[in-house]
Amino acid sequence: MSGVNMGSTLHRSLQQNLDHIRRFVREGGWISLDSRDREELEQTAAGFQTRLDAARDELLCAGFLGGTGVGKSSLMNALAQAEVAGTSHRRPYTDHILIYHHAQVELPSFVHQGQAAWAEHAHQAEAVKDILLCDLPDFDSLRPENKEAVLGFMSNLDLLVWVASPEKYADRSLHSALGQAPKAVGNFYFVLNKMDRLWDRKKAEQSLDQMQRVTEHFRSLLAQTLARRADAKGNVFPRLFAVSALEERPHSAWNQLSQFRDVLFARRTAKQVEAIKAANLEQEMAALYQPLGIEKERLEQSLAVVRQLQEEVEAESRPWTQDGETVLASWVEKRIKPMLIQQGPGLAPLFGPARLVGVGVREWRQRGAKDLASVPDVGEEPGLLGLYSRMKHLKNRLLTLVLRNDNPRFLGHALEEAADVNRLWEQVASQWQGAVNNALAQDRPGRWPGLAAGQILVYALLILFLFIGLGGGQVWKELIIHPGPGSVLEVFFSAVETLFSLQGVAALVSFGLLMLGAGVRFYQAWRRKLQDWAQGQGRILTAELTGLWTSGLEEVKQNLELIHSRLSQKLQSLDAILASRE
């Protein structure tokens, strides 16, 4: 009996496994094999492919029986997912068998050697390339001599599919043919087609109830008929499928066409397994699985190492953040905070004595002071290079874990890339530089209105007290009792007279000291506000810089997770290939 290439069938597990193995080999990234070993494995797989292509197995031969109008052609088309049985395929005579086969498939020898009349129709449907579909004539239309020939043809079929419809499932001819069919009951399948005629979406519940009643009635009739057969053993439960071959996909929940198709192809797969074992191909494939088993062990070992690296990095998270925050806070305090103060609002919020005090202090501090105007190159800052060493220390610890045992060499290369210190440092330093530039370029605080109002009030009061002191108590008393221009002039001249006396000089000295003291106090208040503002900005910047520092470790975690994910996917693919062998 001639067959077909096993590689063309969906359910050929050996071909699928071979395809997976060859794809796995071609993808590269092997841990346990070098290029020469992989080339040898590919050559072995290619040789096996040649032997697999040469293996031939029998077609699954399925006969379809049923009266006129039950939809055998539409059912075969639905199974093939293509039109293999067209309306133009008429029987030349009522006793002819219509045989549908793939154009690349030769008809089995029993077709030519038998006595039954037949007509063939070739198709291109890949879904049923390995299934021979035989549309058998209605028994009632056969003459006795032709019926014997058709029964002889049926004996060579693997299974029989009895097709009925809601209108014809009780026909006597169907049940009569069941008693005569020369096949075991276990090779019978029953299809109740055109069930969509009972379906009414508006009356879904009633429709489903009617479908169930019709199906169960047909099943009970079949069970009674099959129980009368000589080969029936015990209770017979017919394998019945209620379908609509013409319903478009996706099928309704009640349509069992997909289940019937799965059962049919499962029978096909079972027959293939017999042919494969007969060809002894499974044993030959063992040579392909051996290096895969070694690869699996190395993958599992690598995954265990990567998980250990991930645990080490996770344990490092808290000290990593704490160390970074400590170094960065100190650096911001020493390098950035003075620049924030220098670039702050300046002496604008101060005036009068406070401004004079501020100018004096600034001039004194700027003598020999370092210019802080230029923005620092963060990546080259000595105060931060300790964190670069921190990165190197972490990488060296991880490399020690990888190289400590006989771990796959590729892990060292993968870790070198995942924890590339120079790349990570440049990335973090670049982000730091941007954060520092933004902090130094942002808007400065205003003039602090409360400070300005306090200066105005205090300076005004001190001037008022000076004027009162220079005028004398008697003159001011007279102005209060007898207010008027004369009294005002008297106060003025009295103040001028006192101003050039020893008492006036003492008053002016006292006034100057008080104004100076007030200026010092207001300068100190301004200084505290400026310090507080710079301190707050420094804390914000430190938090941002620490977050960026932590992101460097997070990137290492992500890179390790990516390595773990790739190894896991490769192991899953390998497990699927190895499991399919069992």
Run of H or E including 434 = helix 421-441
Domain count, the chain: 2
Distance of CA 367 to the CA centre of its chain: 62
C-alpha to C-alpha distance for 49 and 45, rounded to whole angstroms = 6
Tally of CB atoms within 10 A around 388: 16
pLDDT tens, 222-246?
999 988 886 667 777 899 999 999 9
**Strand 60-65, strand 159-164: pairing:** parallel
Listed in sequence order, the DSSP H helices in 350-384 are: 353-366
Structural tokens at position 252: 């309704």
Residue 46 lies in a domain: no
**Helix, strand, coil shares of the chain as percentages rounded to 5?**
65, 5, 25
pTM over 0.75: no
Both 161 and 193 in one domain: the answer is yes
Both 262 and 334 in one domain: the answer is no
C-alpha to C-alpha distance for 140 and 67, rounded to whole angstroms = 9
Both 327 and 259 in one domain: the answer is no
Q: What is residue 582's predicted lDDT score, i.e. its pLDDT?
A: 59
Both 267 and 320 in one domain: the answer is no
Q: Which of 215, 240, 272 lies at the terminal end of a domain, its last residue?
A: 272
pLDDT tens, 101-140?
999 888 887 888 888 889 999 999 998 988 999 999 876 6
Residue 284 lies in a domain: no
| Angle, in degrees to the nearest 10, between helices 257-278 and 72-80 | 60
C-alpha to C-alpha distance for 66 and 51, rounded to whole angstroms = 41
Q: Which of 225, 241, 272 lies at the terminal end of a domain, its last residue?
A: 272
- The angle formed by the CA atoms of residues 145, 148 and 150, to the nearest 5 degrees, is 110
Q: What is residue 51's predicted lDDT score, i.e. its pLDDT?
A: 59
Q: What is residue 9's predicted lDDT score, i.e. its pLDDT?
A: 40
Both 108 and 200 in one domain: the answer is yes
Radius of gyration of the chain (CA): 49
- Provide long-range contacts, Cβ within 8 A and 24+ apart, for 202-211: 208/254, 211/242, 211/254
C-alpha to C-alpha distance for 17 and 579, rounded to whole angstroms = 10
Maximum separation of any 2 CA atoms in the chain, in Å:
158
pLDDT in tens, the chain (582 residues): 333 333 334 335 677 778 878 888 777 666 667 778 778 888 888 877 765 664 444 578 899 998 888 999 999 999 999 999 876 656 655 678 999 999 988 888 788 888 888 999 999 999 898 899 999 987 666 677 677 888 888 888 888 999 999 998 988 888 888 888 877 788 899 999 999 999 988 899 999 999 999 999 999 999 999 888 866 677 778 999 999 999 888 888 899 999 999 988 887 766 655 554 444 566 567 767 888 888 888 888 888 889 999 999 999 999 999 999 999 999 998 888 888 877 666 677 777 887 788 777 777 776 655 554 567 788 888 889 899 999 999 989 888 888 876 677 777 888 888 888 999 999 999 999 999 888 887 766 666 777 778 878 888 888 777 777 766 666 666 666 767 676 667 666 676 667 677 776 777 788 788 888 888 887 788 788 878 888 888 899 999 999 999 999 999 999 999 989 988 988 888 888 888 765
Pick the closest to residue 131 from 150, 157, 152 (CA basis): 157
Residue 236 lies in a domain: yes
Both 257 and 334 in one domain: the answer is no
**Strand 159-164, strand 188-192: pairing:** parallel
Both 385 and 478 in one domain: the answer is yes
Q: Check the CA dihedral 436-440-442-447 and report its sign.
A: positive
Residue 10 lies in a domain: no
For residue 370, the one-letter residue type is K
Residue 171 lies in a domain: yes
Q: What is residue 94's predicted lDDT score, i.e. its pLDDT?
A: 65
Q: What is residue 209's predicted lDDT score, i.e. its pLDDT?
A: 94
The label of the residue with tokens 């009569």 reads 176
Run of H or E including 214 = helix 204-227
Residue 399 lies in a domain: yes
Structural tokens at position 114: 């038998």
Q: Check the CA dihedral 310-312-313-318 and report its sign.
A: positive
Residue 569 lies in a domain: yes
Both 260 and 395 in one domain: the answer is no
Tally of residues, the chain: 582
Domain of residue 461 covers: 294-579
C-alpha to C-alpha distance for 460 and 457, rounded to whole angstroms = 5
C-alpha to C-alpha distance for 410 and 402, rounded to whole angstroms = 10
Phi-psi region of 194 (alpha: psi -120 to 50; beta: other; left: phi over 0): left
Q: What is residue 462's predicted lDDT score, i.e. its pLDDT?
A: 81
Q: What is residue 139's predicted lDDT score, i.e. its pLDDT?
A: 66
C-alpha to C-alpha distance for 127 and 9, rounded to whole angstroms = 8
User: Cβ distance 416 to 403 under 8 Å?
Assistant: no
Q: Which of 272, 304, 334 lies at the terminal end of a domain, its last residue?
A: 272
**Strand 240-242, strand 188-192: pairing:** parallel
Q: What is residue 369's predicted lDDT score, i.e. its pLDDT?
A: 52
DSSP state of 186: G
User: What percent of the chain lies above the pLDDT cut of 70?
Assistant: 80
Both 183 and 312 in one domain: the answer is no
Q: Which SS3 state, helix, strand or coil, does residue 406 take? A: coil
Q: Which SS3 state, helix, strand or coil, does residue 343 take? A: coil
Residue 122 lies in a domain: yes
3-state SS track over 283-334: HHCHHHHHHHHHHHHHHHHHHHHHHHHHHHHHHHHHHHHHHHHHHHHHHHHH
C-alpha to C-alpha distance for 407 and 420, rounded to whole angstroms = 20
C-alpha to C-alpha distance for 174 and 178, rounded to whole angstroms = 6
Both 315 and 463 in one domain: the answer is yes
Both 392 and 500 in one domain: the answer is yes
Both 93 and 153 in one domain: the answer is yes
C-alpha to C-alpha distance for 402 and 304, rounded to whole angstroms = 11
For residue 21, the one-letter residue type is I
For 243-287, give the DSSP string.
--TTPPSSPPTT--HHHHHHHHHHHHHHHHHHHHHHTTHHHHTHH
Torsion, Cα 117 122 126 130, to 10 degrees, reads 30
Q: Which SS3 state, helix, strand or coil, does residue 16 take? A: helix
C-alpha to C-alpha distance for 174 and 222, rounded to whole angstroms = 10
C-alpha to C-alpha distance for 409 and 542, rounded to whole angstroms = 40
84: domain CATH number is: 3.40.50.300
